[in-house]
Each structure stands twice: as C-alpha cells, then as structure tokens.
Structure 1
Amino acid sequence: MREAARQMLNKAAPPQRPAMRDINPPPPGATPTATEAAPAPAQEQAQAQATRPNINPATHPAEYAQDILNRMGIKLDLQANLDRAIDIGSVLHPAPAQPLPAGAQFVMGSYSNHAGTRNYKLYIPSSYHGQAVPLLVMLHGCTQNPDDFAAGTQMNQLAEEMGWLVVYPEQTAQANHSKCWNWFNAIDQQRGQGEPSIIAGIARQIIDEYPVNERQVYVAGLSAGGAMAVIAGTLYPELFAAVGVHSGLPFASAQDLPSALSAMKRGVHHAPKAGNGSQPIIVFHGDGDTTVNPRNGEQVMEQRLHHHRGARPRVQSGAVPNGHRYTQTTHTTADGTPVGEHWVVHGAGHAWSGGSALGTYTDAKGPDASREMLRFFRTVS
C-alpha cells in the first residue's frame, strides 16, 4: 500500500497554510559582520518569506504535508515512505478475469444511502440454491478493486469450497484519490454516517436479497480496508459476528492527516476504547511491514481484549514449508471460548499472507490468512 499516505494527502490537505517558523539553523560560522546591519523586522519577514517555498496544497499535496510535518516536529520522511518499494514478490497489474466454476456467479451490484453510492461484486457459489448461508464482507486496500482483491486473497475459491457468499464493496476514486477507505476521517468513524454506513448497508442489502444466516455475517479487510473493517465491526456489532484484520489499524486510531501518518509509522500513541465492538477478532500482520507498523496489529488486539479482561493467551509457533515462520496467539475465555487470534508473520511485509500473485499486495510464502479467517469465523459462530 505505497499509496496509503498519498491518498490521505489528496483527501485531507487543508486550503490554507499555517503560520510558519524557521526551523533550519544557520550554517556554521555564519555570523553577521560589522558591515552587515541586522535587518529590520519588515525586512526580516520579507527575507524569511522569500526563502520559504510557496507550496500550493492543491497542486503539491505531498510537499505541503511534508512542510506541515516538519513544523510540527514529526520526524517522518514522507516521500521516502511513499516511494519505498515493498518487497512482496508481487507487481501492480490488473487482475485477470478468473474462470468461474459451473453454476457460480460473480455479479455486480450497487447500494446508495445519504452518505453516497458504492458498487460491489458478489460471489455466489455453485452450491447455492436458496439455503441460508454465511456472508463475508471483504474490504480491499488502496489502489485495489473487487476483482484484484478476490484474485489475490483467493476468497472466492474458498467460498466455493465452503458454500459462502462473499461481497466486495468498491471504494471510488471520487471518494479517495487512491481508492482507499477513509478510515482516518472523523465522519467515517461514526455509526449511521460516512462509509461505515454504506458498508453496513451493502451487507443488509445482500441479507434482504438472499437468505443469509444472519448469525454468520462477517467483515474483513486489508490495510485501509482492515482499518475500516475494525470500524464497521465496532459500530455495527449487531450485524457483524466477527472481524478479520490484515495489516490494519485500531478503531479511531487517527482523526486527521498527521495522526494518520503517525499511526501508520509507529502505532497509536493512545488507542481509544473500541466502543461496543466486543466480537471475536482475528488479526494478521507481517513483522517486516514498513507501511503500517506491526505495533498496530498488537493494538487492535489490545483494544478488543479490553472487553475480555479474563481472556487467557496460548502461544504456538510454526512455519510454512519453504516460507515464513509465524507466531499464533489465541485468546480464550475461562470456558475455552475463543475471542481473538493474533498471527505475526515473521519477515513478511505489507501483503496478504498466503495470497496469490494473481492479485496485488500478496505474499504466497505466509500462512493462508484467507483460510484461517474462515476457519476462525466458523469456530466462533
């Protein structure tokens, strides 16, 4: 998700520059000579203005944001983070159309409410003949779309195997330049408002149109989609029975551009309580992720376990043959009921663990996050 920070700039750049101060020390030995008179206040202001870049936030949002971060004392090289290559063995390319099993469908749909309109694609397995089935809402990451995300996660293949419906809401470039879900906006962290209301509305529309088992409705996502999955699950606990988060961030972990960039870089300084979101949760995060700090995965778990203070952790380690090692921590209540799983994939970057190179931001060397999420969801239902 190299575009994760760039999209926030295009979404959140303010229209007016704040008051500025000179943060650069004078060069060594640059002391005034006897023949150099100290400039008058008006002259000093003019000279300072002449030496500072006149950055237009509308045309140069990255440079503008870097200037703000510098003056706020946040030590973050924004351009380096934007341009850093992500070593995940996957390239950015459109996902090719995948052949469907006989009788299966991958259909387009649309939902609108007061917050806007979003299209989606719904996978219907060949085994579906009107019976009540589970529903999974999958939220893609930045620059992705439903076809790309489905191809990379291979979730449609698992849905075919297990008889699930899977719906992929699609973020628009109009709502966010890089098609990221706007997890860092205050309006998109409130029940009945913004994008969470659209995502919940899409799920309810599918429930109205198909005989979904309403006790088996889940939401999961990657990166910005993972952060939005946490938000949707927290705000709509009566709708979503469990949450899956891959390389995401805690609920309400940012309220503006600087706090969003800071959370991505180093984790949340103080994660707020996650409201009513007490559903079981499964979290995947690579400990080599340089786009969203792995500390965020830990904080997602801490936030959710606030509602389950008596939960007991059980840690086990493993390795994928010719792939990554991982540490899996399962949290259970006193009676053995699982309330959370935290998978740390050692050496993995910002990519869907166990995914296919047919999609973007995937790492085939990790444990199969898609299969483990569905297994977890079935276990806690």
Structure 2
Amino acid sequence: MLNQDIIREATRLTRAGQLVEATALLQCMLRGNSAPDAPSRTGGRIALTRREPLVIDAKANAIEEMDSHPQSKPATSAQPRMLGALLDRKKGRSRIGLRGEIKRAPLSTPNVVPEGTRFIEGTYSSPAGSRTYRLFIPSRYQEGPLPLVVMLHGCTQSPDDFAAGTRMNFIAEEHNCFVVYPAQPSQANPAKCWNWFRTADQQRGSGEPSLIAGITRQIMDHYSVDRKRVYIGGLSAGAAAAAIMGATYNDLYAAIGVHSGLACGVATDLPSALVAMRQGGSDHKVISGDRSPVPTIVFHGDRDTTVHPNNGGQILEQSVRTMSTQKKVHRGQVPGGHAYTRTILSDASGRGMLEHWSIHGAGHAWSGGSPAGSYTDPRGPNATREMLRFFLEHSLPEE
C-alpha cells in the first residue's frame, strides 16, 4: 500500500472511530514498512474515546550531555512512534520522542522569577471555556505602559516549568516586560497539549484561539500594557498554537515566535498531523485579514526527530508568499555549543520581518534554555534572548 493510500485509509478509520486500526497503519508508514492488507490490533490497547482530543507532539528529544567536543555528539532521541503519540493513560503522559523519564527536583522560586518581581495566578473564562494563567510582573512595572509577551508551553509542561526552562521572566525583567503563561489543562488535552491540529482550534473567535486572545486582552485591560507591543511565542505544540494566533489575530500580536513548531493549517486531524510532524505539511491554510503578515522568528534544531525541521521553513513560506523580501544569511557558533545558521528576510525598506534560526545538531528542545525546566538544550544559541530582541523591534502599525 502506498503512503497516500495509507493516509487515506487511516483518515477513514479515524473518522469511523477505529483509532487502533488507524494507528497500526500509520505506525507502519512512519517506520517505512509496507502496510498490512488489513489493520490488526497487535499494536496494543489505546484507552481513548472518540470524544477525547488526540495527543500530538509532546516530549522533546533527549539531548546528550555536552562533552569536550560538543559537535562530535549530535542530539539523540527515539524516533516518534505512533503509539507514543497517543496518551499513555496509565502514566498520565505522552511518550513521543523520549525513551524513559527525566527526574527533576521541584522548581524553586529563584529558578522561575528574579528577586523583587511577582508571578501571580489568574483565570479567564468565556463561553469557549476557562483557562488559568501565570503572569510575570517586572519590578519596574510602574513605568508602563509596558510590552506584553504571551508564552505557550509544550505538551506535559506547566507555566512554571516553561518559565524555568526558557528563563523568559529574567530576560523580561531586563527589558521591563510583562509575560503571561496560559495553562492548558489535562481536561482539554490529556497531555496538556494545545490542540493545534484540530480545525475547531484554528479559528478566530472560537476554541482555544479565543481563550488565548481572551487572556491576552484581560491582561491588557487590567494592567498598563502597550497595546502596540504585544507578542506571542511557544514551544512545540505551543509554537504551533502561536503560529495559529499570528494568522488569526494579526491585529492583536505585533510579532510571533515559533520554536520547534508547525505552520498554521498544515494539519486538521490525526493522520495529517503525524505526516506534518514527520516530513512537513504540504498544504498551507493562511487565515489572515487585510494586514501584512505578522513578523515571525523561528527556531528549529536540524536534528529534531519529533517535528521535522522542514516545518520551520514552511512557517516563513506562509509570509514570504505575500511580501517582497531581501535575504541575508549569517553563520555562527556558540562557544562550546551549537553552530547555527540565521536567515533574515527584510522588507523593501530593509526592516527585518522574518528570521529563521537553524540550530545544527540540536533536537526538539528550547535552545539555550535552563536545565531547571524540561526539554531544554543549554548549548544555545539563546532563543529566549533572541526572541525577545526580535519582538521588541516590532510594533503594530498605526491605524
């Protein structure tokens, strides 16, 4: 059976609620094996019902400890497995992209926020549902109005964990910015993934995009926020959600950051999501208004085996199609860490609108992050600092 036939049949089985059979077919395809004539149930039991959201894209690639020759040891990981992409409910987590678990000590406040700042809890509710969040308030917030950064965590993560791993609060304190971390609950997705692959969660004014936008506006209404300088970024499933927010709310966010994510509209169900993760999406559904594309910065490890590096380039392609750009390429090396290629696409005036950082030897992990949080690669470059630098270079155009 050819790959396109496998995907077609898996789609039919998924819509019919036969997830085990669909999983068996797609597992064969991802392994590069020929598919059986008829799917079997030998792939194991999957405790999911049709009404539960599927868990797509969760764990990061395991990164080896750096030795004296960092380039001699590429990042390693398990290949994404279809069964691992669905929730292991016994353990309460998704297993995609990792063998085993990383044990970490409980997060301490010094790992999450700088001294003299606040990290408070809040809740937003609407007809679409309810989400909690954590808000970082810098020590000099009285000097407002200040920029606001929205950070969307990856699967199995929490706001505190994501804040510790990215250290965004520490960089935001330097630049005097608010940072808000919406939390995806297990009730919405068993592995706490943002449901980027569902059509219902890719639309303006409904589903998860409306909740994320609602949190953003609630902070803007309650605090002294510069409404022209509001930004959104994320990791993995959170990065894919950030791309959706840039496409659906380009009047709200002045720039977006996508780390190890996927373009808006490359998947609408389980089979297309897994294909996009494996090789990049083939269909780009751009959902935007009359405004110009949102300035975008992308980070992606070229050894990422959870979300294929092709996806990073495809995020930029959505914008390049609608604008004239000038291209510059810079190559660098983090001392003792990763080499990288930074591609800058500028508009006709020379203003940098799109950036793509290809991090050589890196897997599915936040570049330059802290080991205090999960799914980070301390060998850099520092995605947090570069993302915030890019954000602050942009603001919404005047009406």
TM-score range, shorter chain: 0.7 to 0.9
Give the match for residue 102 of structure 2: 91
How far apart are 1:242 and its partner, in Å?
A: 0.4
Shift of 1:306: 1.8
What displacement does 1:154 show? Answer: 0.3
Asked if the contact 2:264/2:315 (under 8 Å) is kept, the reply is yes
Identity %: 49
Of the candidates 296, 303, 309, which is equivalent to residue 281 of structure 1? 296
CA gap of 1:130–1:110, structure 2 versus 1, over 3 A, is farther
1:373 to 372, 382, 387: 387
**Which among 335, 357, 380 is matched to residue 349 of structure 2?**
335
- 5+ residue gaps, structure 1, are 1-11, 24-47, 66-75
Residue of structure 2 equivalent to 1:248? 261
CA 224–103 in structure 1, closer or farther in 2 if over 3 Å, else same: same
Partner of 2:317: 302
User: What residue in structure 2 maps to residue 237 of structure 1?
Assistant: 250
Q: Corresponding residue for 1:78?
A: 82
Secondary structure at the aligned position of 1:380 is classed as coil
The equivalences for 1:342-357 within 5 A come to 342-357=356-371
* Count of residues in Structure 1 that have an aligned counterpart in Structure 2: 329
Find the counterpart in structure 1 of residue 336 from structure 2.
Answer: 322
| Maintained 8 Å contact 1:14/1:57 | no
Distance in 2 of aligned mates of 1:101 and 1:91? 25
Contact 2:81 2:96 (C-alpha < 8 Å) held by counterparts: no
Q: Does 1:268 align with 2:281?
A: yes
C-alpha deviations, 1:246-292, integer Å up to 9, x for none? 00000111110110111111100222234337110000000000000
Q: Is the 8 A contact 2:184 2:192 kept in 1?
A: yes
Q: Relative to 1, partners in 2 of residues 1:52 and 1:259: Cα closer, same or farther, differing over 3 Å?
A: closer
Q: Does the Cα contact within 8 Å between 2:81 and 2:97 map onto a contact in 1?
A: no
* Alignment check: 8 A CA contact 2:43 2:83 kept: no
Letter in 1 for 2:178: L
- Rounded Cα–Cα distance in structure 2 between residues aligned with 1:86 and 1:330: 36
Distance 1:203 1:168, change over 3 A: same
Does the C-alpha gap of structure 1 residues 84 and 180 become closer, same or farther in structure 2, counting only changes over 3 Å? closer
- The correspondence for 1:220, drawn from 233, 238, 241, is 233
Q: Counterpart of 1:91 in 2: which secondary structure?
A: coil
1:185 deviates by: 0.6
Contact 1:325 1:346 in 2 (8 A): yes
Residues 292-342 of structure 1: per-residue CA shift (max 9 Å, x gap)? 00000010011122221x101100100000000000000001211111000
- The answer to whether the Cα contact below 8 Å between 1:123 and 1:156 also exists between their aligned partners in 2 is yes
Partner residue in 2 for 1:163: 176
Contact between 2:261 and 2:312, CA under 8 Å: does it hold in 1?
Answer: yes
Measured against aligned partners, the alpha-carbon deviations of 1:152-205 in whole angstroms (never above 9, x if no partner) come to 000000111110000000000000000000000111011101000000000000
Greater shift, 115-124 or 91-100, is seen at: 91-100
Contact 2:256 2:296 in 1 (8 A): yes
SS in 2 for 1:205: helix
Scaled by the length of structure 2, what TM-score is found?
0.76
| Structure 1 pair 212–290 and aligned structure 2 pair: CA distance change class (3 A) | same
**Contact kept in structure 2, 1:86 and 1:350, CA below 8 Å:** no
- 2: distance between equivalents of 1:156 and 1:13? 41
Change (3 A) 1:93 1:125: same
Question: Deviation string for 1:82-139 (max 9, x for gaps)?
Answer: 554379xx93536512234443100000001111100000000111115200000000
2:241 & 2:320 partners in 1: Cα distance? 19
Tell me the equivalent position of 1:183: 196
Relative distance call for 1:295 and 1:94 in structure 2 (3 A) is: farther
